[in-house]
Amino acid sequence: MTPMPVLATLRGLLKLTWLEIKIFVREPMGLIGNVVIPVGIFVVLGRAVGSRLGDLTSGFATQMRVGLPVFGAIFIAINTVLSLVAIIAIYREGGILKRLRATPLSPITILVAHVLVKLIFTAVTVTVMVLVGRRYYPAGTDVPVVSFTFAMLLSTWSILSLGFIIASLVRTARFAPPLGSLVLYSMLPFCGLFRPIDTFPDGMQIVARALPLTPAVSLLSGIWQGNPWSAHLGDVAALVVVFAVCTLIASRVFRWE
């Protein structure tokens, strides 16, 4: 297949991305679910425990200082992926994917546009969360916001590729989000978010370390605590591997109609 010229592809990508952003904003539920709710939960939890952190024992305070933001970040990432799964399923069921595919837009361009939209809204959510959170949550004042946002985007980007596999396996738009939730949320207890992976039994540790959420949690916690990126090269590599493997599988099983 002769490729579309680079400039035209870029123009199509930007146009479609901008269009999908506008369409996303027009759907109130999408905006509420992806931006308002995560920020709201963060603020409520932050107000409830944030001001009392100083009085608490150090172990729990650390848990709250690091665990809560990372949990928030993972929650946003999962939401983002679920929203991608839903939109791909709806677009496929409605024949929209097929319609777009029968244009000079390459299939990759169409999917990349959706990933971009999701990453942009993830960045918006994280930024709003940090800005709002600063007022209620003392731990937020000295965190490396830019680095954390970048770690967040990297994690989301990696897990999005898992979303494409889920979107391919589900036949109907109605079952895509529940199955996505099941897959993603069932990883939560095992990815080191609530309990360090070292404390799991040996067999469980292997499973936990293989989960795509695990390097994301490790990276986010480390960056939030001020670790340099060089301390998390393994996590970054793992996220890239997750992306590569999932994308390879998705490209084999992805269905346009």
Partner 1 sequence: MSGAPVFRVSGIRKTYGDTIAVDEVSFEVPGGQIFGLIGPNGAGKTTTMECVEGLRKPDRGRIEVFGLDPIKSAHALQRRIGVQLQEAQLQKRIKVWEAIDLWASLFDATVDAEGVLDQLGLSDKRNAWFMTLSGGQKQRLFIALALINDPELVFLDELTTGLDPQARHTIWDLVRDIPARGKTVFLTTHLMEEAERLCDHVAIIDHGRIIDHDTPAELVARHCPQRSVIVSTTHPEAASHFDMLASVDTVTRVDDQLTIRGHGADLVTETIHCLSEHGMRVTAFRTEEPTLEDVFLTLTGRSVRE
Helix 68-93 to helix 213-224 angle (10° resolution) is 140
Using CB under 8 A as the binding rule, whether residue 12 contacts partner 1 is answered as yes
Q: Of the listed pieces 4-12, 122-130, 158-166, 231-239, which binds partner 1 according to CB under 8 A?
A: 4-12
Q: Of the listed pieces 89-97, 135-143, 184-192, 211-219, which binds partner 1 according to CB under 8 A?
A: 89-97
Using CB under 8 A as the binding rule, whether residue 2 contacts partner 1 is answered as yes
With CB under 8 A as the rule, give the number of residues binding partner 1.
26
Give the type of residue at 235: D
Using CB under 8 A as the binding rule, whether residue 254 contacts partner 1 is answered as no
Nearer to partner 1, 51 or 172 (CB): 172
Q: Which is nearest to 26 in space by CA: 113, 95, 119, 117?
A: 117
Between residue 21 and residue 50, which ones bind partner 1 under the rule CB under 8 A?
22-23, 26-27
Q: Which of 99, 135, 174, 195 binds partner 1 (CB under 8 A)?
A: 99
Cβ atoms < 10 Å from Cβ of 119: 17
Using CB under 8 A as the binding rule, whether residue 1 contacts partner 1 is answered as yes
Catalogue the long-range contacts made by 1-4 (C-beta closer than 8 Å, 24 or more residues apart): 3/106, 4/104, 4/105, 4/106
Q: Which of 44, 56, 60, 94 binds partner 1 (CB under 8 A)?
A: 94
The four Cα atoms 248, 252, 253, 257 give a dihedral, to 10 degrees, of 120
Query: Which residue is it, tokens 């591997």?
Result: 241
